[in-house]
Amino acid sequence: MEFKERTEAAAFVAALSRFLNSPSGTSFSRSDEPAEVWAAASGRLIHVLLSVPAFKAASEVFAPLPAGSRSEGGLPAGSVLLIQSGTPALGVEEVLNLLPRAAL
């Protein structure tokens, strides 16, 4: 998913982290395929990349999802892991501190 604003990307990731830590959200992360969320910056955009379980969770609670495309390749250079199994629920400010900086 692509976001033009860092705060918008951070709010989405924070909300998804809260859902994944809720009783309803824990079912989306399995040991063989965990729910992971990565972020990368490209130009002025922040790209939020979701594993299949994270995408399914986001689709369950956030409809419609922000614009994005499916990627079959690896992660872009400079990607940062934001959410993985065991990550506690995050606030917007916490995610902002983790997000890579887009070029100005």
pLDDT in tens, 20-37: 999 888 888 776 788 999
**pTM summary value:** 0.89
Using only C-alpha atoms, what is the Rg of the chain?
13
Letter for the amino acid at 78?
G
Between the CA of residue 61 and those of 17, 20, 74, 98, 102, what are the distances in Å? Answer: 12, 10, 26, 23, 27
Query: Is residue 12 assigned to a domain?
Result: yes
Residue 74 confidence (pLDDT) above 70: yes
Query: Is residue 38 assigned to a domain?
Result: yes
| Cβ contacts of 21 within 8 Å, gap of 6 or more | 88, 89
Percent of the chain scoring above 90 in pLDDT: 55
Q: 51, 60, 65, 59: which is closest to 8 by C-alpha?
A: 65
Query: Is residue 30 assigned to a domain?
Result: yes
Query: Is residue 104 assigned to a domain?
Result: no
The band of 70, judged by pLDDT with boundaries at 50, 70 and 90, is low
Query: Is residue 24 assigned to a domain?
Result: yes
Residue 66 confidence (pLDDT) above 90: no
Q: Report the domain count for the chain.
A: 1
Domain housing 70: 2-98
